[in-house]
Structure 1
Amino acid sequence: MNQRQSLAVVVPAYNEGEGLHAFHARLAPVLDGLDLDSRVIYVDDGSKDDTWAVMQALAASDPRVATLRLSRNFGKELAMTAGLDYADADAVVVIDADLQDPPEIIAQFVERWREGYDVVYGTRAERHGESWLKKATAAMFYRFIGRISPTPIPADTGDFRLLGRRAHQALKGLRERHRFMKGLFAWVGFRQVALVYQRDPRHAGTSKFNYWKLWNFAIEGITSFSAAPLKLATYVGVLTALVAFGFGLWVVGKAIVFGDPVRGYPSLMAVMLFLGGVQLMALGVIGEYLGRLFMESKQRPLYLLDVVEPARHDREPPLPGA
């Protein structure tokens, strides 16, 4: 007889203790309805609330639950990476714990995977519960990075997706420190398909991403998957040099023909400030890429685990008399 296929659900969480019980209450029936050996891997990203205690309670009540606790807050991208590294299944689903991504969609992910797709990703038709500014900036970011990146990154698509085994194994081989997971998911390629769904409002708590963090996240994605800013700095520098050279010829020619009275302080300052601004901007862009090279060269571990508690089904059976 053929062995049943397996599914692992990776759930990174940071200060999500308030909503984890509700999340698991919706996830568990979905897994019960699938003809798969299922596991749930909760990853506590150094939470400051009772997230870890709630995860342990879920593990005690459901033998399918495994829990990981990072030694500190490493960020969502690395918490996802920890869960994906730990997972060992024929298919792996990544989903947030805030119930904005409905767990019920996982059954449709599995259907498409069984049709032969290696990656099934959720594309948001609507983003309920989010401000118009966040929706607008997110739409601008996805379309911008889609134009400048040689890797096609799907628009309006988050981390909610299913990875088949070979896509999952390929992703585990990417060990870069600055991790823009949406780009890495797309970079591995294979057969990918979108599944459109309605994104719900957050069930409990508040978003951990403010606009400053989202801005840095956007810079991370752009610099990780495109050299366009460097090229832009080069083009601006060349154009500025040509304009400055032409202006210099004009100044020399004017002085030869008409003389050179001591005037022109405003224009001189304007030119100096303009050139200085362009140079600083170019240095800033170069610095962003250089800083990433510096961090990659250190070869530090991506994350550190504090506690690992496997699912009860995965634990070694007790010795006789133990």
Structure 2
Amino acid sequence: MAAPLLSLVVPVYNEEALVGPLVARCVAALAGLTADFELICVDDGSRDDTLPRLLAARAAEPRLKVLALSRNFGHQAAFTAGLHAAQGQYVATMDGDLQDPPELLPRMWALLRHDAHDVAYGHRTDREEGWGRQVLIKVFHRLFRDFSKLQEADNVGNFAMLNRRALGALLGLHEKNRYLPGLRSFIGFRQVAVPYARQARPNGSTPKMGYGRLFALALDALFSFSDLPIKVCLYAGLFGMVVFLLAGVYALGSKALGLAPFGWTSLELSIYFMGSIQLLFLGITGEYVFRIYRESQNRPLYFVQQYYA
């Protein structure tokens, strides 16, 4: 069977209510570009009726393929599974919550079709989300941009389209702690941004990635692509040295003038301060050790239960 011209990879997890509109909008956007496409929905171990509804949609649209993972392996692993399965000459990726509009795919396609670019990625100029979530996301992207030196990874997500050459380079990166926007920026090639406003989830539903998962993803990004954690240790240590130097000068001066502080308060504060810095160092060191250990295990990122193709 000949490989399709265009592939779209969409991971989904417990999105039974969105399966219908998701498939309909994606198929309409892809069909407007070419009839020779495949839509790969990766079911990341959903516990609701997401998989049965995907299979029902596949019965009506054979160009829809469903990759069911054996359990929930996480957002980035599901994307990776879909990218390995994609056969298209051009491969696009987008989240399955319809916050990234599939109607933007023609703009990406136009930029890649004439070999002027290798990667077109969505650049979020605005987002319809709660102010608290927006603030945290902006802080993360600012830190990631400044400390990773990957300018293409600023205010971007998984919404992108790559040609086969760029995809081959991306799939050649086998690290287990994955942050795909950073990896996509790291491979280089000719990349171009496509600005858009990220939409709210349909019907005002709660985002599937809560603060805990977003924080874990942010840690993967910062530990993998920046030296920020090490610099935190360095700056905290330097700050502690300055504080205790000034405290030592103050203590000696107070002793000489007979104004030495009474009791053990200053000593206890010093012990607590140093102890907190040491615990911070141990925590950051432990994160690095655990990530090195995870890489050394070399376990597969995912297991496929069944591929309906």
- The normalised TM-score by structure 2 is 0.91
Between Structure 1 and Structure 2, whose CA radius of gyration is higher? 1
Q: CA deviation at 1:97?
A: 2.0
Q: CA deviation at 1:304?
A: 0.7
Question: What does residue 221 of structure 1 align with?
Answer: 221
Question: What does residue 135 of structure 2 align with?
Answer: 136
The 1:258–1:149 alpha-carbon spacing in structure 2 relative to 1, beyond 3 Å, is same
Given that 2:251 and 2:260 are in contact with CA atoms closer than 8 Å, whether structure 1 keeps it comes out as: no
The CA RMSD over aligned residues, in Å, is 2.3
1:166-315 correspondence to structure 2 within 5 Å? 166-203=165-202, 205-241=205-241, 243-244=243-244, 247-248=247-248, 263-310=262-309
Q: CA deviation at 1:231?
A: 2.3
Q: CA deviation at 1:251?
A: 5.1
Given that 1:139 and 1:155 are in contact with CA atoms closer than 8 Å, whether structure 2 keeps it comes out as: no
1:53-202 correspondence to structure 2 within 5 Å? 53-115=52-114, 116-128=116-128, 130-202=129-201
Measured against aligned partners, the alpha-carbon deviations of 1:266-310 in whole angstroms (never above 9, x if no partner) come to: 111111111111111111111111111111111111111111121
- The normalised TM-score by structure 1 is 0.87
AA in 2 matched with 1:278 = I
Give the SS at the match of 1:121. strand
Measured against aligned partners, the alpha-carbon deviations of 1:138-179 in whole angstroms (never above 9, x if no partner) come to: 112111110111333432211111011111111111111111
Measured against aligned partners, the alpha-carbon deviations of 1:226-274 in whole angstroms (never above 9, x if no partner) come to: 122112202322442354356557757876x679989441111111111
Measured against aligned partners, the alpha-carbon deviations of 1:33-79 in whole angstroms (never above 9, x if no partner) come to: 21362111110000001111111112211121111111110111100
CA distance in 2 between partners of 1:232 and 1:260 (Å): 35
Give the SS at the match of 2:202. coil
Show structure 1 runs of 4+ deviating over 6 A: 252-255, 258-262
> Are 1:29 and 2:28 matched, yes or no?
yes
Give the SS at the match of 1:109. helix
Greater CA deviation, 86-95 or 232-241?
A: 232-241
Given that 2:119 and 2:163 are in contact with CA atoms closer than 8 Å, whether structure 1 keeps it comes out as: yes
The 1:264–1:307 alpha-carbon spacing in structure 2 relative to 1, beyond 3 Å, is same
AA in 1 matched with 2:136 = T
Q: CA deviation at 1:93?
A: 0.6
Give the SS at the match of 1:112. helix
Given that 2:4 and 2:87 are in contact with CA atoms closer than 8 Å, whether structure 1 keeps it comes out as: no
Report the identity percentage. 39
Unaligned runs of 5+ in 1: 311-322
The 1:189–1:169 alpha-carbon spacing in structure 2 relative to 1, beyond 3 Å, is same
